[in-house]
Amino acid sequence: MDNFFKSILDAESTIDTSIDFKTSLFVVIAAFAVGIIASAAYMLASGKRGAFSQNFMLTLVALPPVVSIIILVVGSSIAGAFSLAGAFSLVRFRSAPGDPKDIVYVFLALAGGFACGRGYITFALFTVILISLVMIALTRTGYGKQRMNVRKLRIKIPENLNYTDAFNDILDKYTKNYELERIKTIDLGALFELTYHVTLSANIDEKQFIDELRCRNGNLTIILTAIDDKTSFKA
């Protein structure tokens, strides 16, 4: 069986370049375990939101064994290692932009695959489990999460409304602090668009807040968005 995995390019070589079947099978299975642990950690860290796609989960599972196979083939060849580095430099993830922490789990799966490919099975499983548990714990405890109710407020107003202090009294009432970040003309100058960075006061009625703004801006569009929301402010 081992001769079945021998390179045909080295058929005349006196050096045994075959890949041991049992060892390679064990390495690939261990790499699959690493991928499953990494993907499970990602799903658990995402919490109840379920903000992940099946394609991304399958990628995390399949990535370590694919990498481990490449490492098994490359072995200790320096030329092969440089070729591998060049090949990975061409890789592009063409999916839509996602959560920034996605790349952490991609690299975690890659690292686990590399370690399995080099034969460090116990080390790969230990480190992947350790890092996964730390990431889950940090995510569940809200580490680094914005504690204050910080929002982006975008308001459209008619051109005849003086935007300088048009909403100051309402903002003073419902926010701890606010800052006018951008002023933009839209609809050929018929409307202005104001973008505020605001910190809402505790236990306010957001509907009442928006209703008072609507009464002031003539019932034009108002958008209140969380700072870490993925929604972009498009023109």
| 84-137 tens-digit pLDDT | 665 566 455 544 445 666 777 877 887 788 788 777 888 888 888 888 888 888
Q: From CA 101, how far away is CA 144, in angstroms rounded? A: 13
* Res 146: pLDDT: 59
Q: From CA 103, how far away is CA 110, in angstroms rounded? A: 10
Positive or negative torsion for Cα 57, 58, 61, 67: negative
Distances (CA, A) of 135 to 55, 56, 126, 162: 21, 18, 14, 49
> Whole-model pTM?
0.53
Q: Are 109 and 34 in contact (CB under 8 A)?
A: yes
* Res 217: pLDDT: 92
pLDDT string in tens for the chain (235-residue length): 555 555 444 544 444 555 677 887 888 888 889 889 988 888 887 755 555 677 777 878 888 887 787 777 676 666 556 656 655 664 555 444 456 667 778 778 877 887 887 778 888 888 888 888 888 887 777 766 655 588 899 999 998 888 888 899 999 999 988 999 999 998 888 899 999 999 888 888 989 999 999 999 989 999 998 775 444 434 4
* Res 231: pLDDT: 43
Left, alpha or beta for 228 (phi > 0: left; psi -120 to 50: alpha)? alpha
Please report the DSSP string for 148-217 in residue order: S-EEEEEEEEETTS--SSSSHHHHHHHEEEEEEEEEEEETTTTEEEEEEEEEEPTT--HHHHHHHHHHHH
Q: From CA 208, how far away is CA 225, in angstroms rounded? A: 16
* Res 171: pLDDT: 93
Q: From CA 200, how far away is CA 214, in angstroms rounded? A: 17
Q: From CA 7, how far away is CA 231, in angstroms rounded? A: 51
What would the two tokens of residue 171 be? Answer: 């903002």
* Res 229: pLDDT: 41
* Res 232: pLDDT: 40
Question: Any bridge partners for residue 200, and if so which?
Answer: 175
What would the two tokens of residue 39 be? Answer: 């993907």
Q: Which residue has the tokens 């686990």?
A: 112
Residues of the chain with CATH 3.30.70.260: 150-226
Q: From CA 27, how far away is CA 220, in angstroms rounded? A: 61
What would the two tokens of residue 164 be? Answer: 């300088």
Q: From CA 135, how far away is CA 104, in angstroms rounded? A: 10
CATH architecture of 150-226: 2-Layer Sandwich (3.30)
CB-count exposure of residue 231 (10 Å: 0-12, 13-18, 19+): exposed
Strands of the sheet with 175-186, listed across from one edge: 175-186, 191-200, 150-158, 222-226
* Res 50: pLDDT: 54
* Res 211: pLDDT: 93
